[in-house]
A and B are shown apart, each in its own frame.
Chain A
Amino acid sequence: MRTPRRLAAAAAAAAVIGLAACSGSGGSSAIGNGAASSATGQKVQGGTATLAWPDGSAPNLIFPLAPATNTNGYNANLTQLMWPYLVYDGDGAQSAVNPQESLFSSLTYGNGDTTITIKLKPWKWSDGTPITSRDFTFVYNLLKANVPNWVVYTPGLFPDDVKSVATPSASTIVVTLTRSYNADFYTDNVLSQIPLLPQQAWDKESAGGKVGNYDETAAGAKAVWAFLQKEGSDLSTFTTNPLWKVVDGPFTLASFSSDGDYTYAPNKNYSGTVPALSRVVNQVFTTDTAEMDALRSGTSLTVGTLPQNDVGQVATLKSEGYDVVNQPIPGAAGTLLNFYNAKTGPLVSQLYIRQAMEELIDRPQIVSKIFQGYADPGDGPVPVQGFGQWVSPLEKQGGPYPYDPAKAVSLLKSHGWQVTPSGTSVCQAPGTGPAECGAGITKGEPLSFQLLYSSGTASVDEAQAAIQSSEEQGGIKITLKSEPFATLASVIGQCTASSHPASTCGWQLVDFGYDPYQLDPTGNTLFNTGGANNLGGYSSPEEDALINETEYGSSAQTFYTYEDYTAEQLPWLWGPLPSQIDVYKSGLGGFAPLNPFRGSINPEDWYYTK
């Protein structure tokens, strides 16, 4: 999870449909969604665009399939423009697959959704060789031999669920799965993680060796993988190694510096539309204030992000020649609860306590006053603005637990708590009866928690302070502690019934920001028992069943059932998710509308106008 910045491409996307908003007209301080681009005028070829990246975003691997030990999400940002995925997430502002930039010309599910027939576009690699089905089997063979050592590997999904792969022609692939899947889910979330790699250039075991079909044996596939990983980690050869010059995406790497700055040049042999810009510079900034300074000083920075608390500067920025556009982030946001913390585990295990805590958070006020309206209201697991058709009616109307301090207090009282607003409530009636505190809660136990969150963003600091303050109305005492993100990550681990060691499960409440969704906002990994992102250990058989149904079933109603149940069960405390606000030089066409599934990284579409 990250506090809102650029999305790593392994991240999901959400639909941005039907946002009724004005486009960013000059002079006004409202921020539109960029549905109508303000760049009119003639498209010009050439020009350099400079993008701002946050601190710590330096890539360290250029081989597109990262090993399990390399979780640097920014590597994907580096490689996806050179070796795009088979399925390209996000079509402009739509949460749909982009047909122009995807590598397939058709995707058909058959035999009860157990076979996928993929037809490839007649595109070529930059060295002139056509992209063929052999490139797909190359990737498949590499993954099959080397999982679980693949960073986006999910046990049970690709390549585990593939029974066989057939290549009836150079442009056709038939994948037979071990079971049937919801076609949208599989296309959106699984096939969108798989790039095509140039078998004709990369199927080698050593730098001086010849290209062969080594991937067809398990031992050979392992050797090729090891070789490519090694070459791909050598920063100093990113631009010189001939391997990395063979690309099928819109860009190639023109320069790379180990501090994270790198520059793209267009791939002249790209089979799609060759980018109009002649250079795209990616520059790392140490803090968002430094980025802000660069924007305000009118330097070469073309695209940057605006911190939420600086929304007041939009009018000034517009008058200085920038456009500002807001982009809802497709992710699940909130405060994680540790169900297995020795002290507070029993407290959060009680649904009524979670309910009371949620009802004490004035989310609408936080959205309007701290995030200036540019945030998702946080009513449930699915962001309302991001995901159009996936949002259930319950969430649309505000979710099951709107702000209601009176209700929260009476809920606590009815379960035997002595509520002391601005103090700390204590349990008066221990026990497991309907009017008692609950299992594992002793008499006199206080309702107090420590909330950890990551430091560095002014608006987040304020939001947490607001939450702390409003929880006091129910006598719930929250102690805040903020640490740099990396420090936080080092002390938080997954806590489950079977394993919750004190060293990594001492946390009680933690807020990392958000967990990104892919095109299909499934709760898998977030709310299912043992899910990789289910750090607090929430476990419910009914929840697991509902999530399963969304992956294998197909109706929208199935999804709404899962969504409403999850919203009511509060495996997390839902909270607002601030949007990303992008600032870009006026006259940069193609920037808007934004593709939230790519974190607005689609420089292949940008162009300057006269």
Chain B
Amino acid sequence: MAVGDLTAMAAAGEQSPRHRSGFRAWAGNPRALAGAGTVAALAVFCFFGPVFYHTNQVTVNLNAATHPPGAGHPLGTDGDGYDVLGRLMVGGQSSLELGFAVAAATTVIGVLYGAVAGWAGGVVDMVMMRVIDTFLALPTLVLLLLLVTIFTPTLLSVIVLLTALSWLGTARLVRGEVLALRTREYVQAAKTLGGGRWWIIRRHLVPNAFGVIVVSATFTIADAILMLSVLSFLGLGLPPPAADWGTMLANGLNYLFDGYWWMVYPPAVILVVMLVAINLAGEAARDTLDIRLRRR
């Protein structure tokens, strides 16, 4: 259960301003700038870094294993002989792709489900929500094991898996928003004027629930990246030679007591920095998009 989407839930039920001025307000917020800026910088590092800094992240080179930072390897090498700095770049690509893909998919599915449930109300809503409750109470570990044993974990299968776990929270949030919003006068007016259900959802409800959706999406990015690191720690992560920050950290911890700090702290630091930046941007979004705060 993502903690982040509950923050957003705490802010749910409030009327959000139109998203156009909201974006400008968000962009002006220093936290948002710091957060989004850092994310952008890290993305450049991960996707364009390898163009300038070539390393082989596929072939194991045992003769160069566990070398401390030095000539040719600014951050040393890991247990398989891969250059750590290069691996951070390549691993970051996986981590970022995973985070954003899961957030995007989760948002789409969650919004659709939540909007339908919230709009329909009554029994349909109750059933749809109890279905969510059921899936939420399901043991995540069983689901994880099931999918990991059926499929060889690839980035795509992990994305699918994490989406399947994350959409529930978003759906609940959006449903709450829609529930609150559909009683608003402008929506009643639109209905009287003959507006179709989907048109109202698209034109009025979604834009006004936008703030909540954005906040939830940013927290989903962070949670997905964290979840992959937990999977790796349990031995259910991506198989070699695939790289991602969480696996690097989980593997590196085996060497903590040997004094091979370069296998532990670089992925830990970059992971924390990235996740903090994403959370900052999300928090700033929540701050700027919540109307009550703008009054202060």
Contact = CB atoms under 8 A, between A and B. Distances in A.
A contacts B directly in the complex (CB < 8 Å)?
yes
Interface string A213-237: 0000000000000000000000000
B140 interface: no
Interface string B116-134: 0000000000000000000
B152 interface: yes
B120 to A, nearest CB: 41
Nearest to A491: B149
B60 A465 contact: yes
Interface string B39-71: 000000000000000000011101101000000
A435 interface: no
Interface in A310-343: 310, 312-313
A299 interface: no
A450 B258 contact: no
15 contacts: A307-B254, A309-B79, A309-B258, A313-B257, A313-B258, A455-B236, A462-B60, A465-B241, A466-B62, A468-B240, A480-B239, A480-B240, A481-B239, A482-B235, A483-B236
A369 B63 contact: yes
Contacts of B65: 369-370, 462
Contacts of B240: 461, 464-465, 468, 480
Nearest to A466: B60
- Interface of B, helix, strand, loop or mixed by DSSP: loop
Interface string A469-501: 110100000011111100100010000000000
A388 to B, nearest CB: 30
Given A370-B62, A466-B60, A458 B239 contact: no
B14 interface: no
Contact of A462 (B79, B152, B257): B79
A466 B80 contact: yes
Contacts of A483: 148-149, 235-236
Nearest to A292: B257
A479 B79 CA distance: 19
B254 A469 contact: no
Interface of A: 289, 292, 296, 307, 309-310, 312-313, 362, 365-366, 369-370, 422, 450, 455-456, 458, 461-462, 464-466, 468-470, 472, 479-484, 487, 491
Given A458-B251, A462-B80, A450 B62 contact: no
A258 B77 CA distance: 43
Contact of B235 (A307, A369, A464, A484): A484
B139 interface: no
Given A309-B258, A464-B240, 4 more contacts: A450-B152, A481-B152, A482-B239, A491-B149
Contact of B80 (A296, A312, A465, A487): A465
Given A461-B240, A482-B235, A487-B145, A312 B152 contact: no
Contacts of B148: 483
A487 B257 contact: no
B261 interface: no
Interface string B225-253: 00000000001100111000000000101
A366 B251 CA distance: 18
A469 B241 CA distance: 9
Nearest to A454: B235
B259 interface: yes
A469 B239 contact: no
B100 interface: no
Contacts of B80: 462, 465-466, 469
Ordered nearest first, which 9 A-B pairs have the shortest CB separation?
Answer: A455-B235, A469-B60, A369-B62, A458-B254, A465-B240, A312-B258, A480-B239, A466-B60, A462-B79
Contacts of A480: 239-240
A479 B255 contact: no
Nearest to A467: B60
Contacts of A466: 60, 62, 80
Given A456-B235, A482-B235, A470 B254 contact: no
Nearest to A485: B235
A212 B13 CA distance: 80
A287 to B, nearest CB: 10
Contacts of B239: 479-482
B86 to A, nearest CB: 16
A557 to B, nearest CB: 38
Contacts of B149: 483, 487, 491
Contacts of B63: 365, 369
A458 B236 CA distance: 14
Contacts of B62: 362, 365-366, 369-370, 466
Nearest to A451: B239
A579 to B, nearest CB: 18
Nearest to B260: A312
A309 B255 CA distance: 7
A310 B255 CA distance: 7
B150 to A, nearest CB: 10
A289 B152 CA distance: 26
A464 B241 CA distance: 10
